[in-house]
Structure 1
Amino acid sequence: MKKPTQDWRFAQANKEALLSLGAYALYFIWWFVFGYGMGDGDPEQYSYVWGMPEWFFYSCIVGYPLITVFLWGVLRFFFKEVPLDDEVPDTDENELTSADSNKGNIA
């Protein structure tokens, strides 16, 4: 008996899920390091950028546009459009057509 092979769409979906989790982890680390690393001190000793505490400026104001551009690049170069319909296997003339093979299936 022939072992079924994994559909390429599942491999692509797994890759995209791992990239999404990695991007989220990267953003969280960025935010955590700047938010708690620079903001862990006496508020009277804070440095300010544009009237905001430096830790807030770098963690929230700079981090958000950077992660947005990074995510655009990840989506542009690593994510792919995949068809969501069933793939039609190679059939002989004696076998059912793809329209007949879906009869009785509830989608």
Structure 2
Amino acid sequence: MKDKRYRVANREALIGIGLVIINFAIWYGFAYGLGSGDPENYTYILGFPAWFFYSCIAGTGFMIVLIFIVIKFFFKEVDFEEEEQ
């Protein structure tokens, strides 16, 4: 019989990989989407180029909130002590 903790750990690892992919897509999309143009045409938010603000500052804030939600609602408390049979 396979220990249910492995299923939980595997599921949570896959969720973590999904979060990394989302983070990379946000960063890459804004950094290279908005930042690939001529620097003279950049728009600025709070003194930062828009591509940097959205990819690094807003993207980080979004990921912090997303990770908090995922941990709160999708991750489970797992007992590490071995179960006696």
- The sequence identity of aligned pairs, in percent, is 46
Q: Distance in 2 between matches of 1:66 and 1:58?
A: 10
Runs of 5+ consecutive residues of structure 2 not aligned to the other structure:
none
- Could you list the structure 1 runs, at least 4 aligned residues long, displaced by more than 2 angstroms after superposition: none
What TM-score do you get using the length of structure 2 for normalisation?
Answer: 0.97
Q: Paired residue for 1:44?
A: 40
How many pairs does the alignment contain?
Answer: 85
Q: Paired residue for 2:27?
A: 31
1:85 Cα deviation (Å)?
Answer: 1.1
Q: Which structure ranks higher in relative contact order (CA pairs < 8 Å, sequence separation ≥ 6)?
A: 2
Q: CA RMSD in A?
A: 0.6
1:50 Cα deviation (Å)?
Answer: 1.3
- Of 50, 59, 65, 2:55 maps to 59
Name the aligned partner's letter for residue 27 of structure 2. W
Identify, as 1 or 2, the structure richer in helix: 2
Max radius of gyration: which structure? 1
Q: Distance in 2 between matches of 1:69 and 1:18?
A: 19
Q: Distance in 2 between matches of 1:50 and 1:16?
A: 36
